[in-house]
Amino acid sequence: MTTPTPENNTPVAEGATLLDISGDQPPRQRQPTITAVRTFPADAFPLRIIWGDGDNAYAVHQDGFLMRTQSSGVDWVRLHSPGPNDPIPGYKDVFMPIPDTDLQRIVAMGNVGTFTAPVMQPMYSADGGRTWTNAASGTLVTGDQPLGATSMGRDPNSGHLYFGAYLPSGADRVPELRLWRSTDQGVNWSVFHVFPGMSSTTGQPVTRHIHSITWDQYSQSLYLTVGDLQPGGGIYRVTADGTGVEPVLLNTQVPNYLACAIDLMFFPDHIVWGTDNSSELGIFRMARDQIGATNPQVEKTFRTNSSNWWAWPLDPQGTRWMMSGSNDSAYTNIDTACHLYIVGDEGLEVHEVGTVPGQGEWGGPLSVQCVGPRDGKSRFWMNSRFFSSNWSGYFAATMSTGIAVEGRDRREIGAMPTERLHGTATVDPGSSAVLGHLRVPRRRRDLVVFDMGRYIVSGPNTAVVEVWNPRTNSRVGGLQTNALDRAFDIGYQAPWWTRAEKLDAGDVLLLRVTNTGTTSPVTVTGFMSYRFERSRRSDYDWSPNSF
């Protein structure tokens, strides 16, 4: 007689011996697990989540409408439809409902400039996002854009709002890095503190970016993280009297720029952070009694798999935090994924709870952050996106101890090229030759160029490859290079090389090579990898060519 096994219904001989060796294994423990409850954008809701708290969330629709859900994303209602020259609130992830106003008072930032030269317009709403008023103090200084949700912070004791500038790549050679403040819930903004910028001549240690502005509930202080790997980079805080900024730990005080952080985790006895782009990646901590010491003691508690970005508490007491990595440190990462960690016990307990993959062969820096208040609620809203990318994956998530379940309607994250032009030509001095052409579609009028370059087959080094508009007889944007390729030049540190915005639908564009020499012909190959996207400009025009 035989008995089938329940797994495969295969008969086995009666009397088989079962050997129990489970006692030789370590006892099983349930580890923290992240569970994606719902993901966006989805087919029914092509949305970009800009803020969420529990079941409440705000999002920008792909057509520019401001939307709100009170059902954790099951149903959405339209609040605001932008008109001509009306900035889309939260275009760059800065969107902050003020506590104790029942989500009625909201402060946000919208870009009224261009993608490469952003001009942030502070604005506020007093009716939950239905109508918006621009700040009376006007726009910020050109280039003072945010990094993400933590670029705006709030002191809950004074009610003051702070905004830290993250200068865009290629435009950060400036003398000043500004920290802005509003003392009247976003009606007026003024410069509160100036850090020496990369081209500063003051002789003070220079800085490049303000990464985050976060509240420490234990010391009742507002902290700033300032990057990058510059002498002035490190951890700062607003002074107790609210009149200035003071350093907590600087890059010059520790080896390998270990004070360079994007976000912080606050525990009762320690300040904990993950290093950003340092040659020594990991989780570090400093005891609070070391603040102000001449030679403060810093401890490394964990070696992470990549550079480290944002963090947020998982309970109101801040005893456990989630921290996200990023795949932007191509020379030190072990892979191209964004790793997620749970950090507890004053930074000593670390669990890796998941990864978010960088999709596509062209992998720009990918990061994951919480886009809601750092209040430790059980459900929180996160995004996973390539740095500086507009459309990306977003999800509402919970923390539990169980098996992770991926949400439905999950889409590929980030941007990747979809088309490629290339060709070879022999060009006489002072002449040009066409390698290929493309046409601007009607609904996607931003040309995003991921890589572009040329190779000299024979002849002098006098050739450039460029994108040319024959209708206007002019070059398109700054799309010209004599480099072998541009992705190598930028170290894959951005999701694309450059983009040309709001082109005219129907225009034919040429990829061509030009011999800038005066004596000899040159044989050259050229290429461009690209895709077209919907306009990222926040001041949508409503002309026939805008769709």
Indicate whether 450 and 384 sit together in one domain. no
The region of weakest confidence among 123-132, 352-361, 526-535 is 352-361
Q: How many CB atoms lie within 10 A of CB 80?
A: 22
Indicate whether 380 and 516 sit together in one domain. no
Indicate whether 255 and 331 sit together in one domain. yes
Residue 547 domain flag: no
3-state secondary structure 180-226: EEECCCCCCCEEEEEEECCCCCCCCCCCCEEEEEEEECCCCEEEEEE
Q: Give the three-class secondary structure for 502.
A: coil
pLDDT of 273-304, one tens digit each?
Answer: 999 877 788 899 999 999 998 889 999 999 88
Q: Show which of 333, 368, 400 is a domain's final residue.
A: 400
Residue 515 domain flag: yes
Q: Show which of 350, 372, 400 is a domain's final residue.
A: 400
Indicate whether 394 and 455 sit together in one domain. no
Residue 2 domain flag: no
More confident residue, 338 or 7: 338
Indicate whether 436 and 389 sit together in one domain. no
Residue 234 domain flag: yes
Q: What is the mean pLDDT of residues 350-369?
A: 61
The region of weakest confidence among 22-31, 309-318, 529-538 is 22-31
* pLDDT of residue 64 exceeding 80: no
* pLDDT of residue 312 exceeding 80: yes
pLDDT bin (cut points 50, 70, 90) of residue 19 is low
Indicate whether 55 and 176 sit together in one domain. yes
Q: Could you give the CA distance from residue 139 to residue 110 in angstroms, rounded to a whole number? A: 10
- Residues 6 or more apart in contact with residue 513 via CB below 8 angstroms: 425, 427, 432, 433, 435, 454, 463, 464, 465, 466, 524, 526
Indicate whether 385 and 425 sit together in one domain. no
The residue assigned the tokens 């989540």 is 49
Amino acid at 520: S
Indicate whether 388 and 469 sit together in one domain. no
Indicate whether 430 and 300 sit together in one domain. no
* pLDDT of residue 545 exceeding 90: no
Q: What is the mean pLDDT of residues 73-86?
A: 75
The domain tally of the chain equals 2
pLDDT bin (cut points 50, 70, 90) of residue 183 is very high
Please report the pLDDT score of residue 315 as a whole number.
Answer: 82
pLDDT bin (cut points 50, 70, 90) of residue 533 is confident
Residue 161 domain flag: yes
Q: Highest mean pLDDT range out of 174-178, 309-313, 466-470?
A: 466-470
Whether omega before 263 lies within 30 degrees of 0, making that bond cis, reads no
Please report the pLDDT score of residue 180 as a whole number.
Answer: 97
Q: Could you give the CA distance from residue 413 to residue 79 in angstroms, rounded to a whole number? A: 27
Name the percent of the chain lying above pLDDT 70: 71
Q: Give the three-class secondary structure for 150.
A: helix
DSSP for residue 255? G
Q: Could you give the CA distance from residue 2 to residue 538 in angstroms, rounded to a whole number? A: 72
Question: Integer distance in angstroms from the first to the last C-alpha of the chain?
Answer: 74
pLDDT of 238-262, one tens digit each?
Answer: 999 999 999 999 999 998 889 999 9
Q: What is the CATH number of the domain that holds 92?
A: 2.130.10.10
Indicate whether 441 and 302 sit together in one domain. no
pLDDT bin (cut points 50, 70, 90) of residue 200 is confident
Q: What is the mean pLDDT of residues 468-494?
A: 74
The residue assigned the tokens 């007689």 is 1
Residue 187 domain flag: yes
pLDDT bin (cut points 50, 70, 90) of residue 236 is very high
Q: What is the mean pLDDT of residues 7-33?
A: 55
Strands 432-439 and 47-53: unpaired
| pTM for this model (two decimals) | 0.68
- Per this entry, what is the length of the chain? 547
* pLDDT of residue 407 exceeding 60: no
Name the percent of the chain lying above pLDDT 90: 34
Indicate whether 141 and 87 sit together in one domain. yes
The region of weakest confidence among 282-286, 308-312, 425-429, 431-435 is 308-312
Contact between residue 114 and residue 537 where contact means Cβ atoms under 8 Å apart: yes
Q: Could you give the CA distance from residue 346 to residue 269 in angstroms, rounded to a whole number? A: 7
Residue 152 domain flag: yes
Residue 17 domain flag: no
Q: Could you give the CA distance from residue 440 to residue 68 in angstroms, rounded to a whole number? A: 33
Averaged confidence pLDDT in the chain: 78
Q: What is the CATH number of the domain that holds 454?
A: 2.60.120
Please report the pLDDT score of residue 378 as a whole number.
Answer: 60
Indicate whether 118 and 50 sit together in one domain. yes
Domain that holds residue 427: 419-487+494-533
